[in-house]
A and B are shown apart, each in its own frame.
Chain A
Amino acid sequence: MKPRIVITGIGWVTPLGCDIETVWKRLLNGDCGIGKTKQFDASTYPTTFSAEVADDYDYRKYVTKPDVHDGVGSNTAFALGAAAQAWQRSGLDKFETLDHTRLGIYLGSGEGSLDFNNYAAANLAGWDESANGGRGGIDAVKWAHKALECMTALCEIEQEPNMPLTHLAMEFEARGPAYNCLTACAASTQAIGEATEILRRGDADVMITGGAHTMIHPLGVTGFNRLTALSNRNDSPQTASRPFSNDRDGFVLGEGAGMLIIETLDHAIARGAQQNILAEIVGYGSSADAYRITDIPDDGHGAIRAMNDALADAGLTTADIDYISAHGTGTKENDSTETGSVKSVFGEHAKSTPMSSIKSMLGHLIAAAGAVELIACVLAIRDGKLPPTINLNTPDPECDLDYVANQSRDAQVDVCLSNSFGFGGQNDTVIVKRFQA
C-alpha cells in the first residue's frame, strides 16, 4: 500500500496576478493576461505580444532572507514568491519542529534569460568578417575581451537552471533530496510527479515542488518564432490564444511560477495540519514519444501511455475523472492530437468529461505551465467550478470534446487529470483527488 500524499500549500505568480484568490477569480471570469510585450522591444518580431507578470512584482515582499537572493533572475524571483505563498498556506512557517533534512525540493524550472544586450555587443565585437574563408566567424580572443568587460559573474551564474532550486533551499533551509528537471513544457508536471514518488518511497516527509520559467526574452521569442510555434495575431493579443478553436494559429508565451507544498498524509496529520489539506495526489505517469524532436506522433502513443500509467497508478478508471486540465497550447498539431489521445484513453467517457485550457488566458508558461495548471485543478475541486477555454468560437471538426468554452461552469469535481507534453516528446500526467480522511 503506497503512502498517501497530500497537497497542503499552493502559490503562484502569473500574468493575471500573484495571489491565489485573485488569479482564480479572474480565471473563472475568463480574463486574459495577454498584451503587448513590454520587457524588451519586440515590435518588429513576427509576434509582438505575450503574457507577462506585472512589472511591479517584487519577490522581496515574500522572502525572509533578501540578502542571499540579491541579483536573482526572473525565474528565481517568480519561484520565491510562489513558494513563499505556498509555504505560508501550508502552515509550515509556524511549525518550528520541522526536520529540515526531511524537507526536499523538486522543481521543473527553466534556464535563465541571457544578458542579451551585453551578449549581443560581445558577439558583434568579436566578429571577424574574414574568418572561415570569408564567411565570417567569431574571433574568440576579441570576444573574450569584450565579454569580460561587459558581462558579470552574478548574472551568468543566475542563469543556471538549478538556481531557483538553490535559492528555495536557502530560503527554506531545505536539506533533503533536491532536484531540478528540465523537460521542456512538461517539466513542472514531471517535477510534481517525481516529488510524489520521493515522498511515497520515504526519502522525505515534505517536498516543495513546481516550476518557474520565462522565455519572454529576445532569443526565446526568436526561437519560437523560427519554429512558427507562436500565434502571430498581433492585432488582437487578447484573443490570440485559441486552444481547440479551428482558427488557432499557435501558442502565446507566458511567464511565472506555480509552487506546491506536498507531504505524506502521516506527516500532515502528525503536525496537526489536516485543515490545510487541499487535495490528494493519487496518480502519476511519464513517457517519451521516442518519435521526432519536432513532431507529435499522429497516434499520440506517448500521451496515451502517460495518461494510462497515471490512471493505473491511481487505481482509477476514466469514469472517475471529472475534469481534464489540457496541455491545450493552441497549436494546430497539439490540440488535435491531444483530443485524439483523450478519445483513445477515455473512449465513451471522452465526450462527457470536460477539458479546458487555461493557456487561453495565461499563455504558455513553458516549464512552469503544468504546476500552475495543477493548482487550478486543486481550486476546481475546492470550489466546484471549472475554468473556461476562452476564445473558442470556431469549432474544429477534429476537436469535438467539451472544452468548457468561454464560460466557467459549476460542477461536482472530485478528481482531475492534468496533462503536460513537451518538445522532444516528453509526456507527463498527474491526477489529483478531493481529500477524504
Chain B
Amino acid sequence: MSRRVVITGIGPVSGLGLDIESNWDALCDGRSAIGPIQAFDPAGFESQIAAEVPEFKISQYVPKTYRKATKVMARDIQLAVVAADAAARDAGLTTNGTVAPDDPDATRSYGPGRMGAHIGAGLIAAELDELTGAFVKARDEQGNFDMHQWGSDGITHLTPLWLLKYLPNMLACHVTIIHDAQGPSNTITCAESSGALSVGESLRVIQRNAADLCFCGGAESKLNPMGWLRQQFTGRLNAQSNDAPADAVRPFDQNANGMIVGEGGAIVTLEALDTAIQRAPHHTPQNASHAAPHIYAEVTGFGASQSVHPESRNALPEPNGTGITLAIRKAMQEAQITPDDIDLIVPFGIGVRDSDTAEATGMVNALGTRLHEIPIASIKPMVGNCLAGAAALDIAIAAKAIYEQRIPATLNCDTPLSGLNCQTAPSRELSIRHALVIATGSGGQNAALILRRYQP
C-alpha cells in the first residue's frame, strides 16, 4: 500500500495575483487579467494582449542573504521562486526560505533530505537588451555582426554568470537552495504538460518514500520579443481580439479564435499525509481552525501518455484525442474511480479550435455520457495559457475548488462544442468528490491527475 499524498500549500502566480486568495477571488468573480502587453511594445506582432503578472520585487520573496542571487534570475525563475515562497507559507512550512537561516531556535518542518523539488520549465530566452548591448561591440564597419570581434572582445561585455540566468533547471535549483531541499529534484520540459508531469512525478517520489514533501509545479514567461516571436510561430495565437481582451479566449466555444498567452504558473507543496499530520494539525473542512495549514485535496491518480501525430511538433493534436483518453483512463484506474465519481474537470481548454475539439473527443472517449453532466472550468479566459506553468496553475485551482466545494466562473462559451457542460456561468457552490485535471500541448505529451476531496 503506497503512502497517501495530499496538497497542503498552493502558490499560484498569474496575471490575477501572487497568492491563492487574489487568484481565487478573481476567478470566482470572473475577472480576466488579459490586457494590452506592457512588458514591451507588441505592435510588430499579431497578438498584442496577454495576462501579465502584476509588478513585484523579487528581493521581497527571498531571504536577505539570498538577495544577491536574484540578479541571475530570469523572469521565469523569479516567478517560480515567488510561487514556491507563497506555497511554503500557505502550507505553514518552516524552511530556510520562510525563517531566518541563521536562527538557531527555529526548527524546520522537514530535514533537507526529505524535501524534493520537481518543477516544469520552458525554453528561456536571453534578455535582448543585455545580449545586444554586447553584440553592438562586435560590429564590423558596415554595422554587421562580426564573429571574430565577438569571440575576442564582444563576449567580455556579458556578465560571467550570464549563462546561468537561462538554464531551465535554475527554477528548481534556486527553489532547492532557498528552502534547503536536498532530496530528489527534477526539471521537466514538456511544454504545457510540464507542470502536471512534475506534480505526477512528485507524487511517485513521495509514494516510493524517497521524500516526504515536494515543491512541484511550473512557471514560464514569454513576455519578451523572442518569446513572443516563438509563440506567433506556433500559429495558435488569437490575433483578432486585440481590442477585446476579456472576450479573447473562448474555450470549447464554436466561435473560438485562438489562444492568448499568460505568464505565471504555480508551485504546490505535495506532502505525505502521515508526515503532514505529524508536523502540524491541519485545517480541514472538518477541523476549521484558522491557525492551522490546509489539506486542500488528496492526489489519488496520475496518468501520462504521448499523442502520436505527424504534425505533433507543430502543436497539432491527434484529431481523435487518443493520447488524452489514455492519460485520463490511467489516472482513473489508479484512483479506482469511474466517470460517475468525477464532479469537475479543469481542462487544457485554450480556445484553439482543433486543440479543444481533440481534447473534447479525448474526454468523451474516456468518460462517456457522464461527460455531459460534469462541469468543465477552463481558467484560460482569465489567466491565458501559461505554458510550462499552465497545468500547475490548473492543479492549484482544482485543489482550491475541491477545498471550497465551489466552481470558479466559466467565461466566453456561449455556443459550446456539442455535449460539453462548459457554458458561460458565474461561480457557484458545487459538490466535488473528485476533480480531473487534463494537460496536453505542443509536442504531444499528455498528463491527467485525479484530485479527491480529503477525508481522514
Are B167 and A290 touching (Cβ within 8 A)?
Answer: no
Indicate if the CB atoms of B168 and A228 lie closer than 8 Å.
no
Most buried by B among A46, A68, A160: A160
Within 8 Å by CB of A179, from B116, B162, B304, lies B304
Q: Closest Cβ of chain B: how far from A191's Cβ, in Å?
A: 10
A203 within 8 Å of B (CB atoms): yes
Task: Classify chain B: how many residues form its interface, as a range.
Answer: 35 or more
Flag whether B143 is at the interface (Cβ < 8 A): yes
Complex Cα–Cα for A340 and B149 (A) = 41
Cβ–Cβ contact A426 & B132, under 8 A? no
Known: A143-B128, A162-B190. A226 touches B159 (CB 8 A): yes
Select A293's contact among B132, B164, B187, beta carbons within 8 Å.
Answer: B164
Q: Name which of B23-31, B169-177, B271-279 contacts chain A.
A: B169-177
Residues of A within 8 A of B155 (CB): 45-46, 222, 225-226
Question: Among the interface residues A132, A152, A176, which one has the most CB atoms of the partner chain B within 10 A?
Answer: A176
A301 and B182 contact, CB distance less than 8 A: yes
Residue-wise, chain A 130-169 has the 8 Å CB interface mask toward B (1 for contact) of 0110011111111111011001110011111111011101
**Is A63's CB within 8 Å of the partner chain B?**
no
Q: Which residues of A contact B158 (CB under 8 A)?
A: 222, 226
* CB-contacts of A219-258 with B (<8 A): 219, 222-228
* A111-B123, A141-B41, A293-B72 known; A127+B173 contact, CB < 8 A: no
Q: Once the chains bind, are B225 and A181 in contact (CB under 8 Å)?
A: no
Residues of chain B within 8 A (CB-CB) of A121 are 144-145
Contacts of A181 in B (CB 8 A): 186-189
Q: Mark B106-147, 1 if CB is under 8 A from A, else 0.
A: 000000110011000101001011011101100100011101
Structural contact, B173 and A426, CB atoms closer than 8 A: yes
Q: Which residue of A lies closest to B232 (CB)?
A: A148
Question: Which segment, of B79-87, B361-369, B407-415, B442-450, faces chain A?
Answer: B442-450
Report yes or no: A41 in contact with B147, Cβ–Cβ below 8 A: yes
Asked if B40 and A287 make an inter-chain contact with CB atoms under 8 angstroms apart, the answer reads: no
- How many Å lie between the Cα of A228 and that of B112 in the bound state? 31
Q: Which listed residue, A46, A176, A294, touches B161 by the CB 8 Å rule?
A: A294
Contacts of A152 in B (CB 8 A): 233
Q: How far is the CB of A385 from chain B (nearest CB, A)?
A: 33
A184 sits at the interface (CB 8 A)? yes
Tell me the bound Cα distance from A227 to B72 in angstroms. Answer: 13
For the complex formed, measure the closest distance between the CB of B330 and the CB atoms of chain A, giving whole angstroms.
Answer: 8
Q: How many Å lie between the Cα of A158 and that of B315 in the bound state? A: 11
Tell me whether B305 is interfacial, beta carbon within 8 Å: yes
Give every chain B residue within 8 A of A184 (Cβ-Cβ).
Answer: 167, 169
If the complex has contacts A288-B185, A290-B176, A293-B174, are A197 and B208 also in contact, measured as CB distance less than 8 A?
Answer: yes
Q: Are B305 and A101 in contact (CB under 8 A)?
A: yes
Which of B190, B208, B322, B330 is close to A165, meaning CB atoms less than 8 Å apart?
B190
- Quick check: is B431 within 8 A (CB to CB) of the other chain? no
Most buried by B among A44, A45, A67, A162: A162
Question: CA of A140 to CA of B129 in the docked complex: distance in angstroms?
Answer: 10
Residue of B nearest to A162 (CB): B443
Question: How long is the Cα–Cα vector from A161 to B72 in the complex, in angstroms?
Answer: 21
The answer to whether B41 and A156 have CB atoms under 8 Å apart is: no
Set A141, A183, A203, A224: member contacting B304, Cβ < 8 A: A203
Contact B148 A43 (CB under 8 A): yes
| Distance of A226 Cα from B161 Cα, bound (Å) | 7
Interface string of A360-379 (1 = CB under 8 A from B): 00000000000000000000
**Chain A residues closer than 8 Å to B232, beta-carbon distance:** 148
Do the beta carbons of A148 and B44 come within 8 Å of each other?
Answer: yes
Closest B residue, CB atoms, query A204: B304
Q: Which residues from A are CB-within-8-Å of B12? A: none
* A201 near B126: Cβ-Cβ < 8 Å: no
Chain B residue nearest to A132 (CB atoms) is B129
Write the chain B residue with the least CB distance to A425: B173
Residue of A whose beta carbon sits closest to that of B124: A111
Contact A138 B44 (CB under 8 A): no
* Chain A 291-306 interface 0/1 with B at a Cβ cutoff of 8 Å (1 = within): 1111000000110010
Q: How far is the CB of B198 from chain A (nearest CB, A)?
A: 10
Is B92's beta carbon under 8 Å from chain A? Answer: no
Partner of B160, one of A173, A190, A226, A288: A226
Q: How far in angstroms is the closest Cβ of chain B from A345?
A: 15
- A-side residues, CB < 8 A to B, are 40-46, 67-68, 101, 104-105, 111, 117, 120-121, 123-124, 126-127, 131-132, 135-145, 147-148, 151-153, 156-163, 165-167, 169-170, 173-184, 190, 194, 197, 201, 203, 218-219, 222-228, 286-294, 301-302, 305, 309, 422-426
10 contacts between A and B (CB under 8 A): A124-B144, A160-B189, A162-B191, A175-B322, A183-B187, A226-B162, A286-B185, A288-B183, A289-B182, A305-B182
